[in-house]
Structure 1
């Protein structure tokens, strides 16, 4: 696809998919607050929302890579959207049954679909056009993803958290029925559109390996690459801080005394910061600053702002959590090429392992909630993010350079 016009159409379709992924993913912050109120949950139990959603990445990453290998990128994306539709549809009986566990099953199912979608769409966006502009395309996809997240928190937040709350939990839960029926219809329609699209062509497997990956003949296992293993841990840490910053901020605002009507928009500040970070990354990398340098800057900024959030009060503290969105923005696109450098024939399985690192979004918010409950402070619980940023900084400074154990 050397001709720019030849990949603009498919790129637009991939952008729509990233938009849908963002809309579905970033509504979790709203759902955490909504379920906490409707089911009278503590912090730990409410963060089972992110656990159920993101743990599917660990369980399903490698199986999903085999599914995509069998189906191809295009059919894999279509299948993923149908699986996500099944997950959103589960919300309807979950609401009728007033069952939090059934809602979690729905979220896990959505996560499975998203795992297939990530495994299909990320490499497709990378190889769709010139390799030298791949980082730009991924950043543009990130902007589509986060803008959808802002929209989802505004729309779904308005439907679920605005207005007077009913004293009847069933009436509260019924609020999810119409929006999730609409989401189901949209996902099914998009799946059909992708399946019938003639613009999304398949690509050969040879195109999937990153440019510059040297063939590897002397190593027999993917675990013999320290930069990959440490990269998976760094990605785990990154998704942990990203999801904590994006999905705890509404609950945090409420715990500080802000009304739900006001706090429901706090998540959009974090996502807005991420969008600004993506734009800045597109402008600065690699012309003015290297991916490695930006990664280290992001980790240091994350630590500084986290500590500021812990020692400030009121809206200033909330704003610090929102600024973490800016600090986190470019870590994802910077981590991947550093972790995959020199993997050669191991690139596919290495990519699946990196996707498994997304489980940081499942585990770390749950740890945050557990700490918040045990010490009775949603603010002091943010200390959990500091060691995560320290490890990301270590990977940017030293870890990615290690070529042997």
Structure 2
């Protein structure tokens, strides 16, 4: 597999990776606002848990609906121009938030989420192949983890910024406390909460127009893949493959990302929802805890991969730790805060119920899955890389579907018991780490 950087002014890989790193910060900031937006809209639009999780569904469903169209756009416009278009799509989505907030119209919020998700799909379909292919394959997971540091670092900031800028004096409000207000006070609070969304999103729209213009003029080089068909060694002979579906490691990798992103979104987006229903203060900011543990996981991965362990070993460790933390989520006592007291209570940071703490710790378990799967799944695709990337991006739709499954289970079994669904998710990730990524033929 050869790659050509068609911009001759660029020397080495630092400049393209620095630009892509900035974009991954943008990805994280946009994506992980959802963790704050879900409990916020539950209050503003008076939604059930399942209805509130449609905020995530609309966003992540775009990754399925728009992944293949995004690949076609990139083939026509090139990767750099395609990312600029993706940023402008985000601007359109942000602007839709204005009439949605003014009218407290949940349907408009969902439309805005889908448009934003479509822009993110175009951006991610273009950005991830840059990270995987610009540099040695063996260290691809490390490059992706560095991008993850940018992404999840923004994920720590976004819920805090949302809570400060949008909620303002209502930062400590929860769904439980809102329901306990007298009718007139409740209606006034909802109105003021809704209006707080308008100016921050107008500001974001203006900023992203500037970012699109800067990206268009940046020295980011274009990726040019070799024109040979992808080949695979099979029993000593080269077999020509013309479809991405002929690559089991890729297809299973997409399924792994499907269940993984579902687990990541459940850990990042339902922590605030579950905590709000428990009456925990500042619930809209709790996604920051999950993101902080993901940052710790990324930092650890950068330190040990591939120096001490290989990408597939890291993936196995992630799956096993995910199984362990998931068990603790469903078996722990939400009335106790002993775990967070030990982990960070001594620092003065507010402690959390044990169940909430273990949900946050799933961020640590999830950290190495995405960076490990991408290089394993894209290996040897040649000119099929763009379509392979699109297929992997479609796996992000797990973030649309699995949180809704959680919502249905939560309303039927209770919020804590619904986390039992995480166990089969991590079992499938473990299968891919042990066997799935090694498969070169379906039979």
TM-score normalised to the size of structure 2? 0.85
Question: Tell me, what secondary structure is at the counterpart of 2:13?
Answer: helix
Contact 1:246 1:270 in 2 (8 A): yes
**Stretch moving more, 304-313 or 394-403:** 394-403
Equivalent position of 1:222 in the other structure: 244
Is the counterpart of residue 185 in structure 1 residue 206 in structure 2? yes
Equivalent position of 2:197 in the other structure: 176
| Bigger helix fraction | 1
Is the counterpart of residue 65 in structure 1 residue 75 in structure 2? no
Residue in structure 1 matching 2:62, options 56, 64, 68: 56
In the aligned structure 2, how far is the partner of 1:136 from the partner of 1:220?
30
Question: Tell me, what secondary structure is at the counterpart of 1:163?
Answer: helix
Question: Tell me, what secondary structure is at the counterpart of 2:17?
Answer: helix
Question: Tell me, what secondary structure is at the counterpart of 1:313?
Answer: coil
Deviation digits for residues 372-403 of structure 1 (CA, Å, limit 9, x no counterpart): 1122x111111111111111111111222222
Instruction: Give the superposition deviation at 1:258.
Output: 1.1
Question: Tell me, what secondary structure is at the counterpart of 1:167?
Answer: helix
In the aligned structure 1, how far is the partner of 2:28 from the partner of 2:240?
40
Equivalent position of 1:45 in the other structure: 51
Instruction: Give the superposition deviation at 1:143.
Output: 0.5
Contact 2:378 2:385 in 1 (8 A): yes
Contact 1:87 1:106 in 2 (8 A): yes
In the aligned structure 1, how far is the partner of 2:319 from the partner of 2:299?
18
Change (3 A) 1:283 1:171: same
Contact 2:44 2:104 in 1 (8 A): no
Residue in structure 1 matching 2:418, options 351, 370, 381: 381
Change (3 A) 1:126 1:223: closer
Question: Tell me, what secondary structure is at the counterpart of 2:313?
Answer: helix
Equivalent position of 1:195 in the other structure: 216
Is the counterpart of residue 281 in structure 1 residue 301 in structure 2? yes
Q: 1:347-366 to 2 correspondence within 5 Å?
A: 347-366=385-404
Residue in structure 1 matching 2:97, options 91, 113, 137: 91
Equivalent position of 1:204 in the other structure: 224
Q: CA RMSD in A?
A: 2.3
Instruction: Give the superposition deviation at 1:345.
Output: 4.2
Deviation digits for residues 48-80 of structure 1 (CA, Å, limit 9, x no counterpart): 011000000001101101101111121111111
Is the counterpart of residue 297 in structure 1 residue 303 in structure 2? no
Contact 2:131 2:143 in 1 (8 A): yes
In the aligned structure 2, how far is the partner of 1:208 from the partner of 1:54?
33
TM-score normalised to the size of structure 1? 0.93
**Stretch moving more, 156-165 or 268-277:** 156-165
Deviation digits for residues 307-358 of structure 1 (CA, Å, limit 9, x no counterpart): 1011112311111111110100010111122223343443332221111000
Aligned residues: 400
Deviation digits for residues 118-154 of structure 1 (CA, Å, limit 9, x no counterpart): 0111112333455554333221111011111111111
Unaligned runs of 5+ in 1: none
Contact 2:132 2:375 in 1 (8 A): no
**Stretch moving more, 279-288 or 52-61:** 279-288
Is the counterpart of residue 146 in structure 1 residue 184 in structure 2? no
Contact 1:14 1:121 in 2 (8 A): yes
**Stretch moving more, 74-83 or 10-19:** 10-19
Contact 1:123 1:208 in 2 (8 A): no
Instruction: Give the superposition deviation at 1:200.
Output: 1.1
Change (3 A) 1:341 1:13: closer
Instruction: Give the superposition deviation at 1:220.
Output: 4.5
Change (3 A) 1:254 1:216: farther
Greater CA radius of gyration, 1 or 2?
2
